[in-house]
Structure 1
Amino acid sequence: MEKIDLINKYFEGTLLEDEIKDFNRLLLNDSDFKKEFEFQKEIQESLILNDREKTKRQLQDWDLESSKKPFKYWAVAAGLVLLLSISFTWFLTQEKQSNEELFIAYFEPYRNIVHPIVRGESSTDTQTKAFEAYEEKDFDKSITLFNNILKKDSSNTVIAFYKANALLQKNQTTEAISIFKENIKSSESLQDKNLWYLALAYVKENHLEEATKTLNQLIALSDYKSEEAKILLKKLE
């Protein structure tokens, strides 16, 4: 099946069990598919919300005229309210996602901002090799190299943060959670980023109370991912 067909069936709510697995796999591993899905999702949300605003304006306009022809206008308004309700219910249904789907939709390993890689230059430096592997999405290799660095410098919370990101990508969520929590306690470096990824890890593990607390901590602390955090909080309600 074409990838765009999977996306269309997602919004139609007609994905079969095997197709759901394919959809989630592509969303996790195919960046082009994820971008297309997010683009189509924005379009769907925009259409629904625009329709709601238009209908509200129509109701407000008709309300001004209702004193002249009350029965006619209230009948039409009642029909529009019903239509609006159906549309909004569909919108909410589409937004209802499993915890795994929410994690996949929001998770992307944090970009390498601490150790820029110059392409074409060879290096035997462990940290350079670790971040090269990380950028190339060879997360098994990057974890091994990050571990080598942490053996010599166990207090390096930045390296631990990137290791935890790689662990999340490899579905080693429990260990990632432990690292993020320790980082938050022991250092202010990248604290807001640690909170964001810790919240996502909690969502993935279905620890929704902890996820909610962590997202609220993030919103109170920083502007980093604050809008996404607010949206995610609503989805967890």
Structure 2
Amino acid sequence: MERETLLEKYLQDKLTESERQEFDALLQSDPEFKEEVEFQMDVKRALTAEEDDNFREILSDFESEARAGGSDEIYSDKSKVRTFPTKWLVAASVALLVGLTYFFTANQATDTKDLFTQNFKPYRNVTYPITRGEEAVNKKTKAFLAYGKGNYKGALPLFTELYASQKEPYYLFYKANALIELNRAEEAIPLLEKHLETKDSLVDKSYWYLAMAYLQLEDSEKAKQALKKVVETKAYKAEEAKQLLDVL
């Protein structure tokens, strides 16, 4: 696993046992990595301290305004427990709720992007294998040769033309994969939905890639719907889908 991914999962406390072992080994063998980990932890602690200070400041402001109100008791002589007027407690709750909502919404967007990056990989060409050294003598060979080499932009128009002339559903599937890789998930979604209506041998893969497309678009609700289909039908990547649903 890449060092950046390991560090990110460590900071989020999401390392698996095997990833933890890999992280610890890297921490001991790579001084630069260790230095980066220590730096990121310092940043995290500083941000946490700043958030705590900001919240204490909010509460301090509420207390000051409550004191200025004069009519409500700030301290109870018997219990020595500080009490605030109801309206200020409500205001504090609203402020905290708004802050937490913003925090979790922002982190959800970031996590959604991270989940896509960590889980998406274009499906390999199993439909029309290209042998080493084979020349592109026809359009189908050219399309899958480009796809296999990672030339997704070059493969797109070829898949489009091939589907238009031959109507083979797997062209929709591979074209959708290429579009997602090119950060064009909106275009990939209708192709995957159309592919799901066919009896193609690859159709059990489409719900997974539909979920990936929605993750790329940061639409976690629709991503969850697609992942649930993967789990329900015990299709391709069912175990990974369960894990993603737990995170989402």
Map of 2:20 onto structure 1: 44
Residue type of the alignment partner of 1:158: Y
Map of 1:25 onto structure 2: none
Residue type of the alignment partner of 1:109: P
Question: TM-score if structure 1 supplies the norm length?
Answer: 0.61
Q: Cα offset for 1:210?
A: 1.6
Map of 2:133 onto structure 1: 120
Q: Which runs of 5+ in 2 are unaligned?
A: 25-106
> RMSD of the alignment, in Å?
3.0
Q: Cα offset for 1:43?
A: 2.1
Q: Cα offset for 1:206?
A: 2.1
Map of 1:201 onto structure 2: 213
Q: Secondary structure at the match of 2:134?
A: coil
Map of 1:168 onto structure 2: 180
Q: Do residues 133 (structure 1) and 131 (structure 2) align?
A: no
Q: Which runs of 5+ in 1 are unaligned?
A: 15-38, 49-94
Q: Secondary structure at the match of 1:108?
A: coil
Q: Cα offset for 1:190?
A: 1.7
The answer to whether the 8 A contact 1:127-1:145 is kept is yes
Q: Secondary structure at the match of 1:186?
A: coil
C-alpha distance in 2, partners of 1:146/1:218?
A: 26
After superposition, the Cα gap between the structure-2 partners of 1:205 and 1:118, relative to the gap in structure 1 and judged at 3 Å, is: same
The answer to whether the 8 A contact 2:224-2:245 is kept is yes
After superposition, the Cα gap between the structure-2 partners of 1:218 and 1:11, relative to the gap in structure 1 and judged at 3 Å, is: closer
Q: Cα offset for 1:13?
A: 3.6
C-alpha distance in 2, partners of 1:119/1:178?
A: 33
Residue type of the alignment partner of 2:179: L
Map of 2:44 onto structure 1: none
After superposition, the Cα gap between the structure-2 partners of 1:45 and 1:207, relative to the gap in structure 1 and judged at 3 Å, is: farther
Map of 2:225 onto structure 1: 213
Q: Do residues 10 (structure 1) and 22 (structure 2) align?
A: no
Question: TM-score if structure 2 supplies the norm length?
Answer: 0.58
Deviant stretches of 4+, over 6 Å: 45-48
Residue type of the alignment partner of 1:202: Y
After superposition, the Cα gap between the structure-2 partners of 1:139 and 1:113, relative to the gap in structure 1 and judged at 3 Å, is: same
After superposition, the Cα gap between the structure-2 partners of 1:40 and 1:229, relative to the gap in structure 1 and judged at 3 Å, is: closer
Say which one has the larger Rg. Answer: 2
Q: Secondary structure at the match of 1:113?
A: coil
C-alpha distance in 2, partners of 1:129/1:173?
A: 23
Match of 1:228 among 225, 237, 240: 240
Q: Secondary structure at the match of 1:98?
A: helix
C-alpha distance in 2, partners of 1:203/1:41?
A: 26
After superposition, the Cα gap between the structure-2 partners of 1:198 and 1:141, relative to the gap in structure 1 and judged at 3 Å, is: same
